[in-house]
């Protein structure tokens, strides 16, 4: 599996889709005459992260996945965003970070052992297993929650918004 192809283009697309959803959320709130930033506290369940934290998590999981696979340092974000504009800046920061990667940065990443403090003691995962078994589901979980929270609150989103632009070729 080409870990560059499985991460960078897809994560960029996820972050770009998230920004488009923010645009739709702001337009929805303005059309209904309420402050869009009130949506940032919305959640699906009392014990679940609010929208703002779900978006921060999408950013964190994409940047940290790539950083761990390539043994590079990710940008730091203090989790202080309180507005849609601040979240857009964070999305742009992570997209710009992802733009710095080349396929060669992922040489050996599939076999690289990754260990995190919450893993069982003495255990690690290969980069491939870390990506496939843990991080892709984690990224999509938080991305799905952003979608679900916005949709639940009335923002006009559909499957096409979730999938985003696709690449077609002539036959």
Helices 136-152 and 51-70: crossing angle, nearest 10°?
160
Tell which residue, 52, 57, 32, has the closest CA to residue 40.
Answer: 52
- Residues 92-108 have a mean pLDDT of 97
Average pLDDT, the chain: 97
- In the chain, pLDDT over 90 holds for what percent of residues? 98
Indicate the domain borders of the chain: 3-163
Question: Would you say residue 117 has pLDDT above 90?
Answer: yes
What fold is seen in the domain 3-163? Answer: 1.20.120
Q: Are strands 113-114 and 125-126 parallel, antiparallel or unpaired?
A: antiparallel
| Nearest-angstrom CA–CA distance, 99 and 75 | 13
pLDDT reported for residue 163: 94
- pLDDT(98) > 90: yes
Q: How far is CA 95 from the centre of its chain?
A: 10
Q: How far apart are CA 12 and CA 4, in angstroms?
A: 12
Q: What value does the mean pLDDT take over residues 96-117?
A: 96
Residue 154's alpha-carbon distances to 46, 65, 73, 121, 157, in angstroms, are 19, 31, 38, 44, 8
Q: 76 falls in which pLDDT band (50, 70, 90)? A: very high
CB atoms within 10 A of CB 84: 21
Give the model's pLDDT for residue 91. 98
pLDDT for 40: 98
Instruction: Taking residues 146-171, report their average pLDDT.
Output: 95
> Mean pLDDT over residues 40-61, rounded?
98
Residue 1's pLDDT is 80
Question: Per-residue pLDDT averaged across 105-121, rounded?
Answer: 95
User: What share of residues in the chain are helix, strand, coil (percent, to 5)?
Assistant: 65, 0, 35
* For range 22-38, the mean pLDDT: 97
Question: Residues 159-168: pLDDT tens digits?
Answer: 999 999 888 9
Q: At what angle do helices 84-99 and 3-32 cross, to 10 degrees?
A: 160
What Å distances lie between residue 169 and 2, 166, CA to CA?
21, 10
Question: Residue 111 above 90 pLDDT?
Answer: yes
Q: Environment class of residue 69 by beta-carbon count within 10 Å: exposed (0-12), middle (13-18) or buried (19+)?
A: buried
């Amino acid at each position: 599996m080409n870990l560059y192809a499985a991460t960078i283009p897809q994560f960029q697309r996820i972050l770009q889709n998230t920004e488009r959803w923010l645009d739709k959320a702001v337009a929805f709130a303005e059309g209904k005459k309420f402050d869009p930033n009130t949506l940032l506290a919305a959640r699906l369940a009392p014990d679940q992260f609010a929208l703002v934290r779900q978006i921060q998590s999408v950013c964190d999981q994409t940047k940290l996945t790539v950083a761990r696979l390539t043994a590079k340092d990710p940008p730091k974000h203090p989790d202080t965003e309180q507005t849609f504009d601040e979240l857009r800046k964070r999305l742009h920061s992570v997209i710009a970070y992802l733009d710095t990667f080349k396929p060669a940065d992922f040489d050996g990443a599939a076999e690289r052992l990754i260990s995190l403090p919450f893993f069982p003691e003495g255990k690690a995962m290969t980069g491939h297993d870390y990506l496939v078994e843990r991080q892709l589901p984690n990224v999509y979980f938080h991305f799905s929650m952003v979608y679900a929270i916005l949709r639940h609150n009335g923002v006009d989103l559909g499957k096409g918004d979730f999938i985003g632009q696709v690449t077609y070729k002539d036959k």
